[in-house]
Structure 1
């Protein structure tokens, strides 16, 4: 049986690191990217020296992602998962936010992830999965106004991925916008409702369940469709 391979863009810590560990424990070969020094990722590589590869890429620098795609051009991926996000000025409004905080979130949370997918999608097999980490907060229909500026960046991510999928109507791959729940990480904060162990294994289960199902879906960790 051919070994399955997942590429996780943004795996130096938090949810990305947890995804790498989860897929490794399930027998996958994992290619994990980091922008710079990543001690936790290096510790993980010591545990899985034969199946974890660490590569350099920074989603904010398109050239590094393009170079990654060139280095991996002879590989075929079963899963491409882009995990990139920052949360700033969570309690601010358009009146009092520092404009650069909003610009940074739009670039990191929306533009850069979809650009990375577009630069790397040639590596993903015809029955593979292309996934991006989003949030329930990216849905407009059921928005409560919580973290409004961050939420708007995730809504923008969802829209950009809608555009990506719309321009590829014959693509057979599953394209997933993944909402993992509010997880206790450095970004999610201590007040978040879920531990990593309560979220990430279910996320990986959900991705496996969508393998071979064509088209774009906005899903939570329980494989339930969310309102856009």
Structure 2
């Protein structure tokens, strides 16, 4: 395992941070991609200096992705694991949504995974022991919500991108979509007003397990999907949500 590399986009905050930590503990050399928050990236590399390298790159920019991929391939070779986790959310009503808000979300959430996977897949296909790609989706890929036409469309597209990649890269590279439910991240706490007792109670009433999940529990699911226990699984969606959406 010491020679294996994992690339995690959005890998320095929230669920992505849990992914980077878990893969490092499993013995991978992790390249964590981030876009804006250098402080979080510095904290992660200080925590795991021998296991994690943080690299700034905009996954929606084809040239930046190409440059980043060349750097990784030259330094470490093909990654055994690619986690397309970086995401963007800009809410707004459809009738007033501007072109830029549409493009930014689609370019990050859908085009980004396409660009990253395209950059690495040819070399991943050459790995003698196979490789795994995990896209990080959302329940809104299946059930829409108000004021999220850009985000919902991007995640629905990502789910089908996952399936198409699984078909074309089989049997050597497995591709699956990991879909988190309500997970305890800063963004989720703000969006759903978890600090408000009434809002929290209403949220928990929708979840059969009556609790919010942890980033570590999503990392558990990632560990399964990239491990040998999932070697016969590809083109699937794994929903980890405490039973909130039983699809």
Instruction: With the length of structure 1 as denominator, give the TM-score of the two structures.
Output: 0.81
Q: Verify the 8 A CA contact 1:137 1:151 in the aligned structure 2.
A: yes
**CA spacing shift, 1:53–1:155, aligned 2, 3 Å:** same
Q: Deviations over 1:112-154 (max 9, x none)?
A: 2222211122343352101111112212xxx264564222220
The separation in 2 between residues aligned to 1:62 and 1:107, in whole angstroms, is: 10
Residue 97 of structure 1: how far off its partner (Å)? 3.1
Which residue number in structure 1 is paired with residue 152 of structure 2? Answer: 151
1:208 has 2:211 as partner: no
Q: Is the 8 A contact 2:176 2:225 kept in 1?
A: no
Q: Which residue of 1 aligns with 2:207?
A: none
Counterpart of 1:69 in structure 2 is 69
Matched residue pairs, number?
Answer: 219
Determine if contact 2:29/2:52 at 8 Å carries over to the other structure: yes
TM-score by length of 2: 0.75
Q: Is 2:127 aligned against 1:130?
A: no
Moved over 4 A (4+): none
Aligned counterparts of 1:98 and 1:185: Cα–Cα separation in 2:
28
Secondary structure of 2:94's partner? coil
Indicate conservation of the 8 Å contact 1:203/1:221, yes or no.
Answer: no
- Residue 214 (structure 1) shift: 5.9
Cα deviation per residue 1:198-222 (whole Å; 9 max; x = unaligned)?
A: 4333332343255533632222248
Query: How large is the Cα RMSD of the aligned pairs?
Result: 2.8
- The structure in which a higher percent of residues are helix is 2
8 Å CA contact 2:134–2:178 kept in 1: the answer is yes
Q: Deviations over 1:135-183 (max 9, x none)?
A: 12212xxx264564222220022223333344x2644211011112222
Matches within 5 A, 1:79-98: 79-89=81-91, 92-98=92-98
